[in-house]
Amino acid sequence: MDCVICRCEEVLLSDIVRAIEDGYTSHREIKLKTRAGMGICQGRTCRLLLDQVIASVSQGPVPKTIGIAPNVPIRPIMLGDLAKGGGKAK
C-alpha cells in the first residue's frame, strides 16, 4: 500500500521507488528528483526513511548517511531576523 514519506512535500513511497528505479539512487539525487526532504522541516522527519527505502530498493545496506549537510540556517528563521546582522559595513 502506498504511503506518504515526505510529509512536507507530499512525496509518496511510490514516487521515491520510481526515482530510484530511474537511476536517481543517492539521497541527494532523490531529493532533487522527487523533492523529498526539500520542505520546511528539511528532511528531519523523512531523512532516515529515505535511507531505508534506498537500502530496500537497491538491496544494499542501509546507507549510513548523516544526511546533515552543514546548511545554515539550521532552523527556519524569518528573513527579517537574518537581515538584522547585515548592513554593518554600509
Partner 1 sequence: MRMDVAIIGSGPAGINAAITLAKKQKSVVVIDEQGKVGGKLIGQLHEDPKDGWWIGKQIAEQMKREAEQVGVIFLLQREVWAIEPGWSIKMSGHEDITASYVIVATGAQENPTPVPGWTLPGTLAIGAAQVLNNYERVRPGKRIAIIGVDPLAFTVAQELKLAGADIVGIYLPPEGLFATEKAKPQSTIGYLSTMAHLAPNPWLRLAGSMAKHHFIQKMGSRFYPKAGMKVFGVPLRLRHSIISIEGTDQVEAITTVKLSSEGKAVKNSEESIVVDAVCISGGLVPLVELASSCKTVYIEELGGYVPLHSPEMKTSKKNLYVCGNITGVEGAKVAMEQGKLAALSIVYKMTGDEQLREEVRSQKEEVNRIRAEATITFMPEIMSGRKKMEQMWNEYVHESRDTHDIR
Partner 2 sequence: MRIEQHPILGPLNNETVTFTFNGDVYEGRKGESIAAALLANEIRTLRYTAQKNEPRGIYCGIGHCYECRVMIGTKRSVRACITEVVEGMKIQSQGG
Partner 3 sequence: MSMYMKAGIRMTSAEIVVIGAGVIGTSIAFRLAESGRQVMMIDRNGIGAATSSACDKAIFLQSKRPGLHMDLARESRNMYNTLEEELGQSVEFKGAGGTVAIHTEQQMLFMKKFVHDQTQAGINVSLLNQKEAKEQQPILADDIIGASYSPDDAEVNPLKLSQGFATAAKRLGVEIMTHTEAIGIEKSNGKVTGVKTSKGVISTETVINACGPFASSIARFSGVPMNIKPRRGVILISEKVDPIVNGSLLDAQYIAAKHLSGQQPEYGIGLSLGQTDSGNLLIGGSREFVGFNKHVHSDVLHAIAYHACKVVPALTNIRIIRSMVGFRPFTGDGLPIIDRSEQLRGYILAAGHEGDGIALSPITGCLVRDLLNGGGPTSRFLPHLTSDRFKEKTLL
**Contacting positions for partner 3 (CB under 8 A):** 9, 20-26, 28-29, 32-33, 35, 38-40, 42, 57-60, 70-73, 76-80, 82-87, 89-90
**How many Å apart are CA 35 and CA 78, to the nearest integer?**
22
**Binding residue for partner 1, selected from 11, 13, 19, 36, defined by CB under 8 A:** 13
**Binding residue for partner 2, selected from 41, 49, 55, 57, defined by CB under 8 A:** 41
The crossing angle, in degrees rounded to 10, of helices 27-34 and 13-21 is 120
Here's the x/- map for partner 2, 8-27, by CB under 8 A: it reads as x-x-----------------
Shortest CB 5 distance to partner 3, Å: 17
- 7 forms part of the interface with partner 1 (CB under 8 A): yes
Which backbone phi and psi does 84 adopt, to 5 degrees? -60, -25
**How many Å apart are CA 40 and CA 13, to the nearest integer?**
19
User: Is 34:26 a contact under the CB 8 Å cutoff?
Assistant: no
